[in-house]
Structure 1
Amino acid sequence: MVKPGQINTLVIVEKTPFGAYLNAGNQQLIFARNAFLPEHSDVGDAVEVFIFQDNDGKLQVADPEQSVAVGKFARLTVVDVNKVGAFVDWGMSKDLLIPFAEQSHPLKEGQAPIIYVYRNKADQRVVGSTRLDRFLDKSEHSYKVGDAVTLMVLDKTDLGIKVIVDHLYSGLIHHDDCHQSLKYGDERDGFIKNIRADNKLDISLNKPGIQGRDDLADKILRLLDENDGLLRVSDKSSPELIKKLFNVSKKQYKMALGKLYKDNKIEIAKDFIKKR
């Protein structure tokens, strides 16, 4: 059965010069333009396409790169507000409804809040919500320290920056671990730095531990090669300069320099490092 608002795998039953008809079940066909199909796809091939319902309830194929799937968070722009609720552009011909009851605060046209896209259990319509916390999973997870994750930036707090982890969990980047400029709605790659006793996640933007140190050391060597073997930043340089160049703390930078020096790959002077 086809599930609107997400990627479906459907079989091509007929090809045309402009696209193909896909079997949607129940003797229903959906047309997909060539732009939405894999190159050289043919009759009988199973293809992945993003399906949505238009204003008339008809199933259509959309560009998955321009669309937001059910069960995902995204920052979307409010394009209209009426007596039903607010509507946001989510890459479809039919805008996504955010009912008033699903607004953490009244939305206005032109705003760009983070939205969770979900299927309403009552009528199976795909709608959105800005009441994000209730859609974040509070159950046990299977993450390990060092695991790579995707992040979406939420709010700044006294402790750090709250993020959504893998579109599922809540996480925190502590201020001491944040060496990049992060804005509401930004999407980043990150890593699990620590799993607290209450199962909550501490996040780092850089690989933790030895692997992170070694990756930074490799980056320093590449920059040395690109700059004739010399960089005017040493272990005595300011934290601000190190952050600007490498997006890491001074402590992390000194650990990487220590490895390179121990491996006899660099010389360290007061205001520069030099490749040996």
Structure 2
Amino acid sequence: MAVIGKRNILSIERSSGPGLYLNGGALGEILLPGRYIPRDIPPENKLDVFVYLDSEDRLVATTETPRAMVGEFAYLKVISVNSQVGAFLDWGLSKDLLLPFREQQTPVRPGQWVIVYVQLDPRNKRIFASTRLYRFLNRETPCYRENQPVSLLISGKTPLGFKAIVDNAHEGLLFHDKLSSPLTIGQKLNGFFRTIRPGGKIDLSLDASGYKRVNTVTEKIVDALERNGGRLAFDDDSSPETIREAFGISKKAFKQALGALYKSRRIRFQNPGIELLDNTTYSPSDATA
């Protein structure tokens, strides 16, 4: 059966003037309007579509991809505000997403960007957004292991650091003193689970720690050197911003990896830059020797 607010693989039942009718199972036939029909129909006559209600509350499908589906958090722009019902958000579809007044933590205005949770009203099957995020965050203690990779959506800033929604379910914190450069609200990035503090609070990091981090970063640096003729214009004096942009790591992690490579006689410093040496074979155990 097709699921409203999600992408579905649906088979084509028939064609008509308005478009194609898809098999929605218990939901019945679902119209894919003609403007969304792809040029090349797959041989198995199945299409990957998003299902929702149009402006007239009719069940329809689209091949467009929304910026968030039901059950997901997203950072969306406020397009307009209707004094009767609420605000409308741009979520990548022709029909804007409603953010009702009752679901606004604080009033929003046109042009503003907000973190929202996308949900489905079980009564009328309409999809709408909410900025009352705490209702939808999972409060159970997650079963992460130390240094487990996680996906992050930066959702706020505190005196201690940046709040992030973890794996679209939990909330964690990236401490200011662990960051090489500031983050921005709405930014999506990959990070690592660090630990659970008393009270169930999650500590996060943008870098893996210890041996695993050094080993992974050294591999990145050597690979970059090999792809650039054995030389790079990066060293201990490079700025945190350029290192983060080039390698996706903090300056601290970068310097630790350079130290491990230098200690194992895998690189030498050019002042500025580094050069790859090929007279030794680097072993990951050298990084922790």
TM-score range, shorter chain: 0.7 to 0.9
Provide the residue aligned with 1:42 in structure 2: 44
Amino acid at match of 1:119: L
Distance 1:194 1:117 in 2: 28
Q: Measure how far apart 1:19 and its partner are.
A: 7.3
Q: Distance in 2 between matches of 1:136 and 1:99?
A: 19
Query: Are the structure 2 counterparts of residues 181 and 97 from structure 1 closer, same or farther at C-alpha, using a change threshold of 3 Å?
Result: same
CA distance in 2, matches of 1:211, 1:221: 16
Provide the secondary structure at the position in 2 that maps to 1:35. Answer: coil
Q: What does residue 107 of structure 2 align with? A: 106
Residues 50 and 65, structure 2, Cα contact 8 Å, conserved in 1: no
Matches within 5 A, 1:154-193: 154-193=155-194
The answer to which of 116-125 and 151-160 deviates more is 116-125
Q: Are the counterparts in 2 of residues 216 and 253 from structure 1 also a CA contact under 8 Å? A: yes
- Structure 1, gaps ≥5 residues long: none
DSSP-derived class of the 1:118 partner: strand
CA distance in structure 2 between the aligned counterparts of 1:184 and 1:264, rounded to whole angstroms? 41
1:80 matched to which residue of 2? 80
Alpha-carbon offset, residue 253 of structure 1: 2.4
* One-letter amino acid matched to 1:13: E
Q: Unaligned regions of 5+ residues in structure 2, if any? A: 278-289
1:134 aligns with 2:147: no
> How do residues 1-276 of structure 1 correspond to structure 2 at under 5 angstroms?
1-14=1-14, 20-26=20-26, 28-32=28-32, 33-35=36-38, 40-43=42-45, 45=46, 47-63=47-63, 65-82=65-82, 83-231=84-232, 233-235=234-236, 237=237, 240=240, 246=247, 248-268=249-269, 272-276=273-277
How much has 1:14 moved relative to structure 2? 3.9
Deviation at 1:103, TM superposition (A): 0.6
Residues 177-225 of structure 1: CA deviation (Å, up to 9, x unaligned): 3224421111112221223343322222223332321221122223433
Instruction: Identify if the C-alpha distance between structure 1 residues 180 and 222 changes in structure 2 by more than 3 Å, giving closer, same or farther.
Output: farther
AA aligned to 2:138 is D
Q: Which stretch of the first structure deviates more once superposed, 219-228 or 68-77?
A: 219-228
Distance in 2, Cα, partners of 1:192 & 1:243: 19
Amino-acid identity (%): 37
SS at match of 1:143: coil
Q: CA deviation at 1:233?
A: 4.6
Task: Answer yes or no: is the 8 Å Cα contact 2:207–2:250 preserved in 1.
Answer: no
AA aligned opposite 1:42: E
Secondary structure of the residue aligned to 1:40 is: coil
Moved more, 261-270 or 131-140: 261-270
1:113 aligned counterpart, secondary structure: strand
Which segment is superposed worse, 238-247 or 104-113? 238-247
- The CA RMSD measured in Å over matched residues stands at 3.0
Distance 2:65 2:81 in 1: 26
Matching residue's letter, 2:147? G
